[in-house]
Amino acid sequence: MMNQIAQATAARLLEQMPDFTVEPFPSAPDRYPFTTADQTLLVSYESSSFASLESFAPMSVERTGLVAVTLLTRSLDGDQGIIASVEAIVKALFGWRPSRDGVPLGASPMQPVRDAFVAEDNGTWRWVVEFSTRTMVVAETTPLAGPPLTDVKLIPRDESEAA
């Protein structure tokens, strides 16, 4: 589910921010070939936390997932700078409910969690903006086999319980 949400997030950013290159976060970010003057947004699933068990039938828990948007830029200021770009990312995703091809993915609207400086390397600045969204996780269970339960008989463990 979180992979689908990350993919839908990338599609949303591409639609809302056409002047940016938008891609999945690479497996080796330090070797990412950021060779153009354009700004790039790298989208990834970061982590999840799970709430306490909400139901036994079906067994389910609420999952809060974090999706990160990493901004690569060579500019700190102006219309293409970090502050303006972070604001544009927040505007594009805050309140948006993840969907694919117009079909909701069963997640709550995206909520910004934090943005932070990550690194600078030879004039390329890396900044991250994290968003949370909530979904439900339902356990796959095997139905009970056999005839339906029709009667329950309590059997005492010892004589003291029988009295």
Burial of 9 (0-12, 13-18, 19+ CB in 10 A): buried
8-30 per-position pLDDT tens digit: 999 999 999 999 999 988 877 66
d(CA 33, CA 83) in angstroms, rounded, equals: 23
| Rounded mean pLDDT, 34-62 | 84
Domain extent for 18: 2-46+67-128
Task: Count up the domains in the chain and report the number.
Answer: 1
Query: Is 58's pLDDT higher than 90?
Result: no
| Comparison of pLDDT for 108 and 155, the residue scoring more | 108
The CATH number linked to 75 is 3.30.2000.10
d(CA 41, CA 131) in angstroms, rounded, equals: 14
